[in-house]
Structure formats: C-alpha cells, structure tokens
Chain A
Amino acid sequence: AQSVAQPEDQVNVAEGNPLTVKCTYSVSGNPYLFWYVQYPNRGLQFLLKYITGDNLVKGSYGFEAEFNKSQTSFHLKKPSALVSDSALYFCAVRASWGGGNKLTFGTGTQLKVEL
C-alpha cells in the first residue's frame, strides 16, 4: 500500500524568510510525486510534480521540491515566502507502475506566512 506523511499540521514563517513543508512517502517501486495547494473555499491546485530526471523540480509561484530517494522525501521549498502563500498544502504519491489511478494524499500542512 502507498502512503504519504506530512508530519507538521501547521508551519509558520515570516514573510521574506525561506519556507519548507515536509513530506515523506511510501510506495512500491518508483514514485510519481505531487504537491497541491488549496486556498479557502477552493479546490486543489497543482503546484509541481516529480516523474523522473532531475531531483530538483521547479513549479508554480516560485515553489520547488527536492526528491530524495534514500530518505523517501519530497519536501516543498520556497526561498522567500509571501503572505499570499498562506494556504493548505498537500503532498501526494502514486506508484509509477501498477498504481493505476490511485493518487494517495497526505493530511495536509497549513502554511501561515506573517508580516
């Protein structure tokens, strides 16, 4: 079975500081990894994904994530946080082979960026 762990319910960051939202995963074989963001009263919006290739993936709004196979992690990062980045962030995983349509999500991490 595949699973995702987001160990922090909430992350607080001052505007202008770097931010990290943690994600670890468990899956059979190679993973496809995703980050989504959810603003209040909205659906999930795709941020970035890792399929293969370069371990550092760049996505929307200045976000990036680094795939670390040995640590089974896919942490989301941004060099300089903005107040408008405040939202709920979800990490998701799917097996690259045999995973079918099953995209498994974590519980989400609430990011709060303050002035």
Chain B
Amino acid sequence: ETGVTQTPRHLVMGMTNKKSLKCEQHLGHNAMYWYKQSAKKPLELMFVYNFKEQTENNSVPSRFSPECPNSSHLFLHLHTLQPEDSALYLCASSQDPLAGADWYFGPGTRLTVT
C-alpha cells in the first residue's frame, strides 16, 4: 500500500449517468493529481491541485469535473461520459512539487462507460 486510496475500484456507468471517483491520502502531501491510463498510451495528466488550488487543467473535457475540498481528498465528478473515456483513472500525491519529490499513486479506478 502506498498510502493513497481510491474508491470505487471498479465502476460501470451509462453515458447519461453521474458518478464520482474519490481519492484520499494521509501522507501529509500538499499536491494531488488525476491521471488517465489507457492501453498503449502514456499516462495522461488531467488535473493538478496544490494546497487545494487547481494549478493545471490539461485540456480536459468539461464532462470531467475535479474537486479538492482539502489537502487529503480529491474527487473526480463524471457526467455524460463517452465510451472512449473508459480507462484506468489514477490518483497521485506528492510532498513538494518543486523538488524531486516522489509521486505516490493509488490503485486506480477501472471505469467502463457503456
């Protein structure tokens, strides 16, 4: 275990549903991230939060909406997704984004959009 947890681990949703992914870290880190992992493609950075403030949105469609209520929790709200959004969504955290700090990853949520 890396200290980063994600729920649910698996999610199947229709294109008209609304669901949320949750990430939690108790490592005392101040930066949290959402990544998308699709087969045969590099991990795609989606969002970055530093001290609860969003510092990066990597041209992510608005059907993905992040929320960071505090330094320990990160959510990804999903609505009207497309089948191509099916992927493994990974949450990560790090201590100091400006140093060579390690990123700690959660186990991911396997999302299937039907």
Chain A interface residues (CB < 8 Å from chain B): 4, 9, 32, 34, 36, 41-46, 49, 51, 90, 92, 94, 96, 100-108
Contacts and interface: CB of A to CB of B under 8 A. Distances in A.
Contact of B45 (A4, A9, A43, A102): A102
Interface residues of B, number: 27
B41 A45 contact: no
A34 B40 CA distance: 19
A43 B4 contact: yes
B42 A105 contact: yes
Given A43-B105, A46-B102, A4 B31 contact: no
A54 to B, nearest CB: 14
A42 B107 contact: yes
Interface string B79-102: 000000000001010100110101
Interface stretch (B12-20, B48-56, B59-67, B69-77): B48-56
B84 to A, nearest CB: 18
Contact of A100 (B4, B40, B42, B55): B55
